[in-house]
Amino acid sequence: MPSPPAGGAPSHGDPSHLLPPTLEPLITSWLTEDTPAFDVGGFVVGDTPAEARLLCKSRGIVAGVPFFNETFRMLGCQVEWLVKEGELIAGEGKKHVATVRGPARKILLGERVGLNVLARCSGIATQSNHLLTLLRTAGYPNTLAGTRKTTPGFRLPEKYAMLVGGCDPHRHSLSSMTMLKDNHIWAHRGAHAASTTDAAITAAIAAARAAGGFSVKIEVECQSVAEAQTAAAAGADVVMLDNFGAEEVAVAARELKERWGEKVLVEVSGGLTEENVGAYACEHVDVISSSSIHQGVRHVDFSLKVVQKGVEGDGAVDGKGESVEI
């Protein structure tokens, strides 16, 4: 099955080259969570050499391959892939997408961790690409981004999956870009007795610039066009039109671009889903961000099945369980 149209990072290189030099601390925490004490099932099967087939059983884009590979490498196993990351699997029956080889108990130690990360990442990549395709169809040429509303302890693979799907992961943490949300503005106004919201926005941006320096962008979440204009005038690099209606966005974004041009990026966010995102496809909007590409998405269904040696038909016994046959 051919891959979906390339976009974002995958059109320029291999997303796996973005990952840190080691994933061991992260994956060790996953393995420890799953096996905090004795592995009695592993004791039963021992270290007999074994082979297992990774089966994809639903439609989706394959993502999370580096995490899957590293999980099994750390356990002394080898993974041979039959598809490429970013490839779209049609979901017509079961498809054999990879083979894992190694000691039986080690394969089973990594099974659930590997499947969890692969299913989650593939689901996010699939939904990310789906929403991106809807926007491209609606004529929107700019950036679709995720959010920081990620699963605790799982942000790196989730952000990685957005990239595989062709989207922008948005900021990775509080430290990667300063975003002054409504709570920051309200808290600053209360703490410093600012007379108006506009005064609080201006003062908050000045404080953020002084602390973050020239290398850290500042984004301000705005509830009105007036707030957005104030933020832009005070030096914000990005203004977010938060929870605006589609028609309001078209007007506000045009006004901001007419006044500020490319000095200020315009981001739209809040309540955007596949049902309504096309209406926000406005030429003056630089970034559309939505948690719907990664939060609550449907996982892609994978299973890992050990090939039974010496069993006729290489399938499940007596009809129970799932056969490795395709």
> Average pLDDT over the chain, rounded to whole?
91
Report pLDDT digits (tens) over 163-212. Answer: 999 999 999 999 999 999 989 998 887 777 767 889 999 999 999 999 99
Q: Which domains are delineated in the chain?
A: 11-129+298-307 (3.90.1170.20), 168-289 (3.20.20.70)
CA dist 25 and 180 (Å) reads 31
CA dist 170 and 201 (Å) reads 22
Q: What is the mean pLDDT of residues 83-104?
A: 94
CA dist 306 and 53 (Å) reads 6
Whether residue 3 has pLDDT greater than 60: no
Instruction: Give the three-state DSSP class for 31.
Output: helix
pTM of the model: 0.91
Whether residue 311 has pLDDT greater than 70: no
- Active-site residue among 57, 149, 181, 217? 149
The predicted structure's pLDDT at residue 322 = 65
CB 161 within 8 A of CB 122: yes
Run of H or E residues at 255: helix 246-260
- How much of the chain is in helix, strand and coil states, percent to nearest 5? 45, 15, 40
Q: How confident is the model at residue 93 (pLDDT cuts 50, 70, 90)?
A: confident
CA dist 30 and 113 (Å) reads 7
CA dist 298 and 294 (Å) reads 9
The predicted structure's pLDDT at residue 326 = 59
CB 107 within 8 A of CB 49: no
Whether residue 303 has pLDDT greater than 80: yes
Whether residue 122 has pLDDT greater than 80: yes
Q: What is the mean pLDDT of residues 10-19?
A: 92
Q: How confident is the model at residue 297 (pLDDT cuts 50, 70, 90)?
A: very high
Nearest to 169 by CA among 218, 128, 135, 229: 128
Report pLDDT digits (tens) over 266-289. Answer: 999 999 999 999 999 999 999 999
Look up 309 and say whether it is catalytic: no
Nearest to 64 by CA among 110, 18, 114, 11: 114
Whether residue 317 has pLDDT greater than 60: no
